[in-house]
Structure 1
Amino acid sequence: MNVSQMKDRKQNLRRGVYLLPNLFTTGGLFAGFYSIISTIHGNYDVAAWFILIATVFDGLDGRVARMTGTTSRFGVEYDSLADLVAFGVAPGVLMYMWALRPFGKLGWLAAFLYVVCGALRLARFNVQINTVESKRFLGLPIPAAAGMVASCVLLFYYLGGAGTIKKVSVLLLIYSLAFLMVSSIRYYSFKDPELVKRQPFGFLVLLIFLIIVIVARPEIMLFTFGLIYVVSGPLGLVFGAGKHGPWDDSSDQVVAEVNEENGLSGEDE
């Protein structure tokens, strides 16, 4: 980072920060922290719900910032830190206490792998934010991975479970989510500008129907939609929708070239 860039950042901080989007980010951070507290006290279903609440705040802060023209570098960095707590640490602690603790070292290593892959996913997103297509994410988004974790817990309690669970399938799920977050498999981002434009009347009816179904059976439907989204990336790759392999680093090469042109290095990020 050169001297002029450092001066620009200091000047931007002196001017202040935008309150509205950062308040939504703080709400997501609070929900993630409260999820951890609930997990410590053994309230795993409450912890899962607060992870899902954090996803709502995460979806709102960016959209509010774009709609009000209040996007900033500070907001991007703050959002990433909040996401790491709410969608990385909170689900990792929840899954360890709820399902992975009986597996001993293999269990807490799986929880840690989930957290570190989530951190890597966020770091890669920040680096590539201006070099990848806006309609698709590169790798499974960490909020989607956290939502999958939370919906599994909620489905367990909805089906009559109580306390903790010991299932190898949960261990495999955590490893799979960690892999998908750091892979280069494409996932639809729901940021298509066409979605906010005029749509057929039937599309509105379909959305209303989906909302009614989710409200009627939230535990089942959240798990179902989460699972569909998680497997949509690998299925798209298998059936030709993905243009690159799961470990293709062509996008990273583009980022490296852009950073080199701008005088940036890995130490500056």
Structure 2
Amino acid sequence: MKMRQRFSSHRGIYLIPNLLTTAGLFAGFYAVVASMQGHFEYAAIAIFIAMIMDGLDGRIARITNTQTAFGAEYDSMADMVSFGIAPALVAYNWALSDLGKFGWLASFVYVVAAALRLARFNTQVETADKRYFQGLASPSAAAILAGLVWLGVEYSWEPKPYGIYIGILTIVTGLLMVSNFRYSSFKGANTKGKVPFMGIIIMVLLFVLIASFPPEVLFIGFGIYALSGPILTLWHLKDIREERIQRKKAKSNTEDTETDNESESIS
């Protein structure tokens, strides 16, 4: 009887969003396998496909109201593979393998930073300001490394002589993920409102550029986004300090109110 109750109360999982998450996980895993076989262009493209899948699974879950704790955890695990382990190993196999300890340590720093970034995001998702990311998001960091690899293959670069610089870029990209720099999440944009006609033209031109020169546009675009964090943070440093002071005051007032209520209940 108890076994029947346990079986009947067992909850399933939603198919479509978790299927998209699995597709992203597969793309990240394939990127690692492709880089081991020397197919670096396919590996870089697979990471970008994983980014598309990662963007779709969350949107589909919200649209269909199929968000679950299981889906959130599964998505986080998939992100660790696709945007943590995969880009680090692709960069290592492409340019860092001949650098000895520095090469694999640079890749490891990136992997650890991605894990810490995801863990911090998961613990702060309920309280963080939705308009900003704290630190560079792991998909954007992965796009920088994947874009660089794709660009190198496109122009037939020999990466080994520049391995030390690629290793430094890998470390810096990882450190940006765990930094306190604020990056715009673009979630404050009004996607349901009207936009000027020129806005549509610009979007069409952007798609044409990406289709015509994908590695160049993607690498430069995500590189600019990575630089925008430090610039945005320094530009709004005064506002950030004022926000922190207001939060501390609000927290202090809340604690004082709770203390007064406890004293009144005791008396």
Mark yes or no: TM-score above 0.5.
yes
Partner of 1:48: 44
Conserved 8 A contact 1:237-1:243? no
Match of 2:55 among 54, 59, 74: 59
Following superposition, the deviation at residue 16 of structure 1 comes to 1.3
One-letter amino acid of the structure 2 residue matched with residue 119 of structure 1: A
Q: How does 1:88-127 map to 2 (within 5 A)?
A: 88-127=84-123
Give the C-alpha shift of residue 240 in structure 1: 2.6
Report the alpha carbon displacement of residue 244 of structure 1 after superposing the two structures with TM.
4.9
Aligned counterpart, 1:181: 177
Contact 1:186 1:242 in 2 (8 A): no
Q: Report how many aligned residue pairs link the two structures.
A: 240
Query: TM-score, normalising length from structure 2?
Result: 0.83
Amino acid at match of 2:198: G
Whichever residue aligns with residue 212 of structure 2, its letter is A
Residue by residue over 1:171-199, the C-alpha shift from the partner in whole angstroms, topping out at 9 and shown as x without a partner, is 11111111110111111112225133322
- Report the Cα distance in structure 1 between the residues aligned to 2:238 and 2:34, rounded to whole angstroms: 39
Correspondence 1:114-263 to 2 at 5 A: 114-161=110-157, 166-192=162-188, 194-240=190-236, 244=240
RMSD: 2.5
Q: Does 1:20 align with 2:13?
A: no
Extract unaligned runs of 5+ from structure 1.
1-9, 258-269
CA–CA distance in 1 between the matches of 2:162 and 2:139? 24
Displacement of 1:100: 1.3
Distance 1:165 1:44 in 2: 17
Task: Give the CA deviation at 1:164.
Answer: 5.1
Instruction: Name stretches of at least 5 consecutive residues in structure 2 with no aligned partner.
Output: 1-5, 256-267
Given candidates 16, 22, 30, the residue that maps to 1:34 is: 30
1:180 & 1:163 partners in 2: Cα distance? Answer: 23
Counterparts of 2:31 and 2:232, CA distance in 1: 33
1:185–1:234 contact (8 Å) kept in structure 2: yes
Superposed CA deviations along residues 50-76 of structure 1, whole A, max 9, x for unmatched, are: 011100000100011111111111110
What is the CA distance between 1:102 and its match in structure 2?
A: 1.7
Larger radius of gyration: 2
TM superposition shift of 1:167 = 3.0
Higher mean C-alpha deviation, range 76-85 or range 159-168: 159-168
Distance 1:64 1:162, change over 3 A: same
Which residue type is aligned with residue 101 of structure 2? K
Instruction: Tell me the percent identity.
Output: 42
Give structure 1 regions of 4+ aligned residues with deviation exceeding 4 angstroms. 162-165, 241-245
TM-score normalized by the length of structure 1? 0.83
Paired amino acid for 1:217: F
Q: Work out the CA distance in 1 between the residues paired with 2:112 and 2:138.
A: 11
Q: Which amino acid aligns with 1:199?
A: V
Supply the distance in 2 between the matched residues of 1:196 and 1:209 (Cα, whole angstroms).
Answer: 21
Q: Equivalent residue of 1:195, what SS?
A: coil
